[in-house]
Amino acid sequence: MTATPPALEVSGLKKHFPVQKGLLKRTVAQVKAVDGVSFAIQPGETLCLVGESGCGKSTVAKVALRLIEPTAGSIKLDGVEVSQLDAEAMRPFRKRIQIVFQDPYASLNPRMTAGRIVSEPLENYSDISRAEREERMALLFEKVGLRRDSMNRYPFEFSGGQRQRLGIARALALEPKVIVADEPVSALDVSVQAQVLNLLMDLQEEFGLSYLFVSHDLGVVEHIGHRIAVMYLGKIVELATREALFANPLHPYSRALISAAPMPNPRAKRERIVLEGDVPSPMNPPSGCAFHTRCPFAIPRCRSETPALEPKPDGRLVACHLVE
Protein backbone atom coordinates (compact mmCIF):
# COMPACT_ATOMS: atom_id res chain seq x y z
CA MET A 1 0.00 0.00 0.00
CA THR A 2 1.46 3.34 -1.11
CA ALA A 3 1.65 5.99 1.62
CA THR A 4 -0.09 9.28 0.91
CA PRO A 5 2.53 11.99 0.29
CA PRO A 6 2.42 15.21 2.33
CA ALA A 7 0.23 17.94 0.89
CA LEU A 8 3.20 20.32 1.18
CA GLU A 9 6.79 19.42 1.96
CA VAL A 10 9.81 21.72 2.05
CA SER A 11 13.34 20.56 2.71
CA GLY A 12 16.47 22.63 3.30
CA LEU A 13 14.64 25.75 2.18
CA LYS A 14 16.79 28.89 1.96
CA LYS A 15 16.13 32.43 0.86
CA HIS A 16 19.05 34.87 0.91
CA PHE A 17 18.60 38.44 -0.30
CA PRO A 18 21.74 40.11 -1.71
CA VAL A 19 22.89 43.43 -0.26
CA GLN A 20 24.32 45.58 -3.07
CA LYS A 21 26.38 48.75 -2.84
CA GLY A 22 28.19 51.16 -5.11
CA LEU A 23 27.65 52.25 -8.68
CA LEU A 24 28.32 48.74 -9.95
CA LYS A 25 25.80 47.24 -7.53
CA ARG A 26 28.26 44.73 -6.19
CA THR A 27 26.94 42.17 -3.74
CA VAL A 28 28.69 42.78 -0.43
CA ALA A 29 26.58 40.60 1.87
CA GLN A 30 23.56 38.31 2.06
CA VAL A 31 20.51 38.71 4.29
CA LYS A 32 19.72 35.14 5.35
CA ALA A 33 15.97 35.55 5.78
CA VAL A 34 15.36 31.78 5.63
CA ASP A 35 18.30 29.52 6.29
CA GLY A 36 17.54 25.82 6.01
CA VAL A 37 13.89 25.23 6.93
CA SER A 38 12.31 21.78 6.58
CA PHE A 39 8.79 20.56 7.38
CA ALA A 40 5.92 18.53 5.94
CA ILE A 41 2.18 19.18 6.20
CA GLN A 42 -0.13 16.18 5.94
CA PRO A 43 -3.58 16.34 4.28
CA GLY A 44 -6.08 17.95 6.66
CA GLU A 45 -3.37 19.26 9.00
CA THR A 46 -2.56 22.77 10.21
CA LEU A 47 1.10 23.61 10.74
CA CYS A 48 1.66 26.97 12.42
CA LEU A 49 4.82 29.06 12.06
CA VAL A 50 5.43 31.32 15.06
CA GLY A 51 8.19 33.65 16.16
CA GLU A 52 9.13 37.29 16.56
CA SER A 53 8.73 39.77 13.73
CA GLY A 54 11.58 39.40 11.25
CA CYS A 55 12.29 35.74 11.98
CA GLY A 56 11.39 34.66 8.42
CA LYS A 57 7.84 33.32 8.82
CA SER A 58 6.24 35.25 5.96
CA THR A 59 9.28 34.66 3.73
CA VAL A 60 8.86 30.91 4.20
CA ALA A 61 5.21 31.26 3.18
CA LYS A 62 6.03 33.30 0.07
CA VAL A 63 8.80 30.94 -1.01
CA ALA A 64 6.55 27.90 -0.51
CA LEU A 65 4.04 29.58 -2.83
CA ARG A 66 6.81 30.43 -5.33
CA LEU A 67 5.82 34.09 -5.07
CA ILE A 68 9.53 34.63 -4.54
CA GLU A 69 12.15 32.19 -5.73
CA PRO A 70 14.11 30.04 -3.27
CA THR A 71 17.88 30.34 -3.05
CA ALA A 72 18.13 26.62 -2.33
CA GLY A 73 16.02 23.73 -1.15
CA SER A 74 13.12 21.56 -2.24
CA ILE A 75 9.37 22.32 -2.44
CA LYS A 76 6.96 19.45 -3.10
CA LEU A 77 3.20 19.59 -3.64
CA ASP A 78 1.54 16.17 -3.31
CA GLY A 79 4.96 14.60 -3.76
CA VAL A 80 5.82 16.54 -6.95
CA GLU A 81 8.95 18.72 -6.93
CA VAL A 82 7.99 22.25 -8.01
CA SER A 83 10.91 24.40 -6.83
CA GLN A 84 12.63 24.48 -10.24
CA LEU A 85 9.58 24.72 -12.52
CA ASP A 86 9.31 27.72 -14.84
CA ALA A 87 6.19 29.91 -14.88
CA GLU A 88 4.39 27.84 -17.54
CA ALA A 89 5.13 24.49 -15.92
CA MET A 90 4.17 25.88 -12.50
CA ARG A 91 0.78 27.10 -13.71
CA PRO A 92 -1.17 23.82 -13.11
CA PHE A 93 0.21 23.65 -9.56
CA ARG A 94 -1.03 27.16 -8.72
CA LYS A 95 -4.52 25.70 -8.34
CA ARG A 96 -3.30 23.35 -5.59
CA ILE A 97 -1.98 26.04 -3.26
CA GLN A 98 -3.59 29.41 -2.54
CA ILE A 99 -3.10 32.23 -0.04
CA VAL A 100 -5.15 34.29 2.40
CA PHE A 101 -3.39 37.60 2.98
CA GLN A 102 -2.87 39.44 6.25
CA ASP A 103 -4.56 42.72 5.34
CA PRO A 104 -8.19 42.33 4.14
CA TYR A 105 -8.19 46.01 3.18
CA ALA A 106 -5.16 45.98 0.88
CA SER A 107 -5.56 42.51 -0.64
CA LEU A 108 -8.80 43.24 -2.52
CA ASN A 109 -9.05 45.33 -5.67
CA PRO A 110 -11.29 48.31 -4.75
CA ARG A 111 -12.44 48.69 -8.38
CA MET A 112 -13.80 45.16 -8.68
CA THR A 113 -17.06 43.86 -7.27
CA ALA A 114 -16.92 41.09 -4.68
CA GLY A 115 -18.26 38.59 -7.20
CA ARG A 116 -15.60 39.51 -9.76
CA ILE A 117 -12.86 39.19 -7.14
CA VAL A 118 -13.92 35.63 -6.33
CA SER A 119 -14.51 34.66 -9.98
CA GLU A 120 -11.18 36.00 -11.29
CA PRO A 121 -9.22 32.81 -10.41
CA LEU A 122 -11.89 30.76 -12.19
CA GLU A 123 -11.59 32.96 -15.28
CA ASN A 124 -7.81 32.54 -15.32
CA TYR A 125 -7.48 28.86 -14.44
CA SER A 126 -10.65 27.09 -15.60
CA ASP A 127 -12.76 26.84 -18.73
CA ILE A 128 -16.18 26.54 -17.12
CA SER A 129 -19.05 28.59 -18.51
CA ARG A 130 -20.17 31.93 -17.13
CA ALA A 131 -23.30 30.38 -15.67
CA GLU A 132 -21.22 27.74 -13.88
CA ARG A 133 -18.92 30.47 -12.53
CA GLU A 134 -21.92 32.39 -11.22
CA GLU A 135 -23.21 29.31 -9.44
CA ARG A 136 -19.77 28.50 -8.06
CA MET A 137 -19.43 32.07 -6.77
CA ALA A 138 -22.81 31.96 -5.05
CA LEU A 139 -21.92 28.67 -3.37
CA LEU A 140 -18.58 30.06 -2.16
CA PHE A 141 -20.25 33.15 -0.72
CA GLU A 142 -22.60 30.96 1.27
CA LYS A 143 -19.76 28.72 2.47
CA VAL A 144 -17.90 31.67 4.00
CA GLY A 145 -21.00 33.25 5.52
CA LEU A 146 -21.72 36.01 2.99
CA ARG A 147 -25.09 36.67 1.33
CA ARG A 148 -25.52 35.94 -2.37
CA ASP A 149 -26.82 39.44 -3.03
CA SER A 150 -23.50 40.91 -1.80
CA MET A 151 -21.71 39.75 -4.94
CA ASN A 152 -22.45 43.08 -6.63
CA ARG A 153 -21.03 45.15 -3.76
CA TYR A 154 -17.54 46.65 -3.68
CA PRO A 155 -14.91 45.94 -0.99
CA PHE A 156 -15.41 49.30 0.77
CA GLU A 157 -19.01 48.26 1.49
CA PHE A 158 -17.86 45.32 3.65
CA SER A 159 -16.55 45.27 7.22
CA GLY A 160 -13.04 43.99 7.98
CA GLY A 161 -14.25 40.52 8.92
CA GLN A 162 -16.44 40.31 5.81
CA ARG A 163 -13.50 41.32 3.62
CA GLN A 164 -11.39 38.55 5.08
CA ARG A 165 -14.25 36.11 4.40
CA LEU A 166 -14.16 37.39 0.84
CA GLY A 167 -10.43 36.68 0.70
CA ILE A 168 -11.07 33.15 1.97
CA ALA A 169 -13.74 32.62 -0.70
CA ARG A 170 -11.25 33.72 -3.38
CA ALA A 171 -8.66 31.28 -2.02
CA LEU A 172 -11.23 28.44 -2.17
CA ALA A 173 -12.36 29.19 -5.72
CA LEU A 174 -9.94 26.74 -7.40
CA GLU A 175 -10.51 23.96 -4.84
CA PRO A 176 -6.91 23.95 -3.54
CA LYS A 177 -5.39 21.29 -1.32
CA VAL A 178 -3.16 23.73 0.61
CA ILE A 179 -3.93 27.23 1.85
CA VAL A 180 -1.19 29.51 3.15
CA ALA A 181 -2.68 31.87 5.73
CA ASP A 182 -0.29 34.74 6.45
CA GLU A 183 -1.46 36.36 9.71
CA PRO A 184 -5.08 36.23 8.46
CA VAL A 185 -6.70 37.56 11.66
CA SER A 186 -4.10 40.00 13.01
CA ALA A 187 -5.91 43.02 11.51
CA LEU A 188 -9.32 42.04 12.92
CA ASP A 189 -11.11 42.68 16.21
CA VAL A 190 -10.83 39.88 18.77
CA SER A 191 -14.47 38.79 18.43
CA VAL A 192 -14.17 38.74 14.65
CA GLN A 193 -10.90 36.81 14.91
CA ALA A 194 -12.72 33.95 16.62
CA GLN A 195 -15.38 33.86 13.89
CA VAL A 196 -12.81 33.73 11.09
CA LEU A 197 -10.70 31.08 12.86
CA ASN A 198 -13.76 28.89 13.42
CA LEU A 199 -14.70 29.36 9.76
CA LEU A 200 -11.24 28.20 8.66
CA MET A 201 -11.50 25.15 10.89
CA ASP A 202 -14.97 24.28 9.56
CA LEU A 203 -13.76 24.62 5.96
CA GLN A 204 -10.75 22.44 6.73
CA GLU A 205 -12.98 19.68 8.05
CA GLU A 206 -15.39 19.94 5.12
CA PHE A 207 -12.82 20.07 2.30
CA GLY A 208 -9.83 18.29 3.86
CA LEU A 209 -7.64 21.38 3.53
CA SER A 210 -4.07 21.67 4.76
CA TYR A 211 -3.01 25.00 6.27
CA LEU A 212 0.38 26.64 6.61
CA PHE A 213 -0.66 29.20 9.20
CA VAL A 214 1.69 32.10 9.95
CA SER A 215 1.10 33.99 13.19
CA HIS A 216 2.81 35.73 16.09
CA ASP A 217 -0.26 35.33 18.33
CA LEU A 218 0.15 32.22 20.49
CA GLY A 219 -3.51 32.33 21.53
CA VAL A 220 -4.56 32.03 17.90
CA VAL A 221 -2.01 29.27 17.29
CA GLU A 222 -3.19 27.28 20.29
CA HIS A 223 -6.74 27.43 18.97
CA ILE A 224 -6.18 26.37 15.37
CA GLY A 225 -2.84 24.51 15.12
CA HIS A 226 -2.18 20.79 15.09
CA ARG A 227 1.60 21.18 15.07
CA ILE A 228 3.67 24.28 15.74
CA ALA A 229 7.07 25.25 14.35
CA VAL A 230 8.91 27.92 16.35
CA MET A 231 11.27 30.03 14.20
CA TYR A 232 14.23 32.15 15.22
CA LEU A 233 16.47 34.06 12.82
CA GLY A 234 15.50 32.06 9.72
CA LYS A 235 15.58 28.59 11.31
CA ILE A 236 13.13 26.28 13.03
CA VAL A 237 14.28 25.71 16.62
CA GLU A 238 11.40 23.53 17.79
CA LEU A 239 8.62 21.62 16.03
CA ALA A 240 6.04 19.87 18.20
CA THR A 241 2.37 19.11 18.55
CA ARG A 242 0.26 21.88 20.03
CA GLU A 243 -0.34 19.96 23.24
CA ALA A 244 3.33 19.11 23.76
CA LEU A 245 4.60 22.62 23.05
CA PHE A 246 2.21 24.45 25.35
CA ALA A 247 2.47 21.85 28.13
CA ASN A 248 6.27 21.60 28.09
CA PRO A 249 8.29 23.77 25.68
CA LEU A 250 11.86 22.47 25.50
CA HIS A 251 13.82 25.09 23.58
CA PRO A 252 14.69 28.18 25.69
CA TYR A 253 13.26 30.46 23.00
CA SER A 254 9.97 28.54 22.92
CA ARG A 255 9.80 28.81 26.71
CA ALA A 256 10.34 32.58 26.54
CA LEU A 257 7.62 33.03 23.89
CA ILE A 258 5.03 31.04 25.81
CA SER A 259 5.90 32.76 29.09
CA ALA A 260 5.12 36.11 27.42
CA ALA A 261 1.67 35.04 26.19
CA PRO A 262 -1.25 36.49 28.19
CA MET A 263 -3.35 34.02 30.18
CA PRO A 264 -7.17 34.13 30.19
CA ASN A 265 -7.28 33.58 33.95
CA PRO A 266 -6.01 36.72 35.74
CA ARG A 267 -5.32 34.73 38.91
CA ALA A 268 -3.11 32.22 37.13
CA LYS A 269 0.61 32.79 37.51
CA ARG A 270 3.34 31.98 35.00
CA GLU A 271 7.06 32.53 35.36
CA ARG A 272 8.04 35.30 32.96
CA ILE A 273 11.28 34.75 31.03
CA VAL A 274 12.66 38.10 29.86
CA LEU A 275 15.14 37.89 26.99
CA GLU A 276 17.92 40.45 27.07
CA GLY A 277 19.36 42.17 24.03
CA ASP A 278 18.03 42.48 20.48
CA VAL A 279 17.55 39.91 17.75
CA PRO A 280 20.84 39.65 15.80
CA SER A 281 20.96 40.81 12.20
CA PRO A 282 20.18 38.08 9.64
CA MET A 283 22.92 39.68 7.52
CA ASN A 284 25.51 38.72 10.11
CA PRO A 285 24.07 35.95 12.32
CA PRO A 286 26.08 34.74 15.34
CA SER A 287 28.28 31.68 15.11
CA GLY A 288 27.05 28.44 16.61
CA CYS A 289 23.49 28.61 17.91
CA ALA A 290 21.90 31.85 16.70
CA PHE A 291 20.02 32.18 19.99
CA HIS A 292 23.07 31.97 22.26
CA THR A 293 23.48 35.78 22.44
CA ARG A 294 20.14 36.03 24.28
CA CYS A 295 19.87 32.60 25.91
CA PRO A 296 20.16 32.61 29.73
CA PHE A 297 21.38 28.99 29.67
CA ALA A 298 24.06 29.22 26.95
CA ILE A 299 27.23 27.16 27.39
CA PRO A 300 30.54 27.46 25.48
CA ARG A 301 29.44 24.77 23.02
CA CYS A 302 26.47 26.95 21.99
CA ARG A 303 28.85 29.68 20.78
CA SER A 304 30.83 27.45 18.45
CA GLU A 305 28.62 24.57 17.30
CA THR A 306 25.30 24.94 15.46
CA PRO A 307 22.73 22.54 16.96
CA ALA A 308 20.87 20.25 14.54
CA LEU A 309 17.08 19.98 14.58
CA GLU A 310 16.87 16.47 16.02
CA PRO A 311 14.03 14.19 17.16
CA LYS A 312 13.48 13.72 20.90
CA PRO A 313 11.86 10.76 22.73
CA ASP A 314 8.37 12.31 22.61
CA GLY A 315 8.58 12.79 18.83
CA ARG A 316 9.15 16.52 18.67
CA LEU A 317 12.14 18.15 16.96
CA VAL A 318 14.40 20.52 18.91
CA ALA A 319 17.62 22.34 17.94
CA CYS A 320 19.35 22.82 21.30
CA HIS A 321 22.51 21.38 22.84
CA LEU A 322 20.96 21.52 26.31
CA VAL A 323 17.98 19.31 25.45
CA GLU A 324 18.98 15.66 25.60
Residue 28, pLDDT above cutoff 90: no
Greater confidence (268 vs 318) lies with: 318
Distance CA 188, CA 104 (A): 9
Confidence grade of residue 81 (pLDDT, cut at 50, 70, 90): very high
Name the DSSP letter for residue 279.
P
The reply to whether CATH 3.40.50.300 applies to domain 8-96+176-318 is: yes
How far is it, in rounded angstroms, from Cα 220 to Cα 222? 5
Per-residue pLDDT, 3: 73
- Render the burial of 227-243: b for 16+ CB within 10 Å, e for the rest: bbbbbbbbbbbbbbebe
Q: What integer pLDDT is reported at residue 2 of this predicted model? A: 57
pLDDT, mean of residues 6-22: 93
Instruction: Kindly report, residue by residue over 126-169, the tens digit of the pLDDT.
Output: 888 888 999 999 999 999 999 999 999 999 999 999 999 999 99
| Buried b / exposed e along 72-82 (16+ C-beta atoms within 10 A) | ebebbbbeeeb
- Mean pLDDT value of segment 65-69: 94
CA dihedral 225, 99, 210, 231 (to 10 degrees): -40
Model confidence pLDDT, tens digit, residues 185-205: 988 888 899 999 999 999 999
The 3-state DSSP class for residue 237 equals strand
**Structure confidence by residue, pLDDT tens digits, 217-244:** 898 999 999 999 999 999 999 999 999 9
Please, what's the b/e burial string for 89-101 (b: 16 or more CB within 10 A of its CB; e: otherwise)?
Answer: eeeeebbbbbbbb
